[in-house]
Structure 1
Amino acid sequence: MRPGIYEHGEPGSPVVAYDVFAGALHRYPKRLRMFLMEEHKQRAQQLDHQMGLAQARRPSDLRNRLSVDVREGDFHPALIQKLRATGSLGKPLFVLLDGYGGPDIPYSLLHELAQQPSTEVMVTFAPSFLTRFAEKDAAHRQRGDAAFGGQEWQEVFRKPKSDKFPFLRDRYKETLHRAGFSHTLQFEMLDEGGRLLYLIFGTSHAKGLEKMKDAMWGVDPSHGIRYRDPKDPGQQQLDLALEPNTAPLRRILLDHVASSNAGRTVEELQAYTLLETVFRPAQVINVIRRMRDAEAVRTEPNGVTKKTRVLLPASHPTPSTAEQAALW
């Protein structure tokens, strides 16, 4: 694979991103800058060439409003230095940090970015590198320490195999919180080969979280990418579609209602859905109505609005995961 282009000539992710931004700027009179970091000189030159070809396909007015800056250098500290030199720190930033090959993103970079209130990050994190190589290799453990900002993650070596990936996922989410991102959104992504990759989004704004979630649910399902919600007790695999399967959300909401003797309001369930699951708040009301009609929950009053309180049925035990799945 060459930078900006894949093995069979398909446009690479930087070119795809450029085309998406260009399409958006056709509708909005805004300006946007893309900064692309490439560690190796020859690859940086190839990437610059591909981005030049992408720009050449666009009218001059749009090229002036959508600039591209390809720089040779490691993303840390070179990225921060570039953002600071151009006056971009402190302005709205979306920073994609691709650590697919292992724990490549240092905690120090996350912390520095999080100090800027208008900055959001998306980190790709492949847990298999640490579980396969780090236990017996001190250098790899040091890379893990740098990525997590501490050594707590090394507890993974004492976890059973089935718990290793979820443990690392949760520790990395805590890492983003500790760095300063108050809201995080995490997806388990399985490609067609069944390989697992975590996408972890960090922001300081609930609205940013909601917008990112809407974007993720808008992914074209024909690409063969599937998401699993890590809070779904059934770990049901989700196929993104126009009418998504909300059975996992029903189980998640039932568990959350059961965790409080006083039940939960619909507004509380919507906030929980936004902040703690892959689902969207807009899906909650219809789900609660269906759960009420199936007598899995009761609502006070019976009509379902944001202020409605949702409780477990007075004379029914909490349904098991299997029973809940059977309802739908």
Structure 2
Amino acid sequence: MNLTQRISSALAMMFGGGAQLSNRNGFIDGAMSHWNQSVAAPATLAASPGTFTGPIMWRAGAGTGGAGTITVVDLRTSADLAAMEGDDTNSCFKMVITAGSTGTVAARSCGAFFQHIENVARYAGKSVTLQFKLKADAPITIPSVIASQAFGTGGAPSATVVFDKAVSWAVGTSFKKFSVRLDVPSIQPKTLGTAGGDYLEVGFWLPPGVTTTGLYIAEAQIEACSPGANPATDGTGGAPTSYEHRGFQAEQARVSRFFRAIQTNGASFSGIATGASDAFAFGQTLNPPMRATPAPSLTGSWSYTAPAGNSGAVSVIGVTPDMWYLHASGGSYTAGQTGYFGSSAGASVILDARL
């Protein structure tokens, strides 16, 4: 037996068989390093626990009655970098809660940080270790992890299954790994939605009523473990391992299936009028394709200018998981006449297929 086989055998015995040597982390952007656009200032947290804040893979919220912000902290010149295990861990998220939530954990309405993992069958009927590295400006205790299975949309999908788990993670002022074992329910004989969009939801709830000048979140990981792994809920549960470093390029490829911010930054695109009030420009073929047809939008200022100087409102249309186009309408064009689409400095095409 060679060295690789011996390591595989040892891991299988430790973690219940079938443990992966790589690609074991079920989260996308566990290193919190793939913020797809520059963020000059903290983004405001919505009250809803399930809201995307900025162009990230993670959802966060201040909870009912709460208020706060989230931003990225650069760790490259910080002493905190020594606590990180991944070679690509250069940043973390910082949540600031200025008004404590009046919601409750039981009602799933307090502050939260979590991710929707594509495919509700992921880990179904198995046990996993959920882990985060956390610190806070002042001690704070995380009361519960978030865990649920959603079965998609369309048709008559089964109701969401919630299996949140109470924990007592005493977060201090230095980064520390907190982990817990989750036993994920089987999804048989559940019914999936005909339009897709099913997912496994995992993260943690913030304590109701609590404010903080900084809760810092880094190196999130979820991976399969033995059902006999440590059941402790004090932050030492499950079978935690070192954070998996997949590399920036591999991680960005995962992110791009869900979210793309294509920065045009003042570029111009040739277009052609197909009628008196319609002009088009080919945008881009997306490779690899996105998870599903994304919701398109534009940031910055855009215009379409025809030779006669007639402009029109610009939008993104013809969007599929692997293609998008620019479209101008409302001008006065001549069919077959060429023009150009112009964008302002810092402008972007946003394609959002996040769960």
Q: Same fold (TM over 0.5)?
A: no
Higher relative contact order, chain-length normalized (CA < 8 Å, sep 6+)? 2
Compare the two structures and name the one with the higher helix fraction. Answer: 1
Q: State the TM-score, normalized to the length of structure 1.
A: 0.28
Q: State the TM-score, normalized to the length of structure 2.
A: 0.26
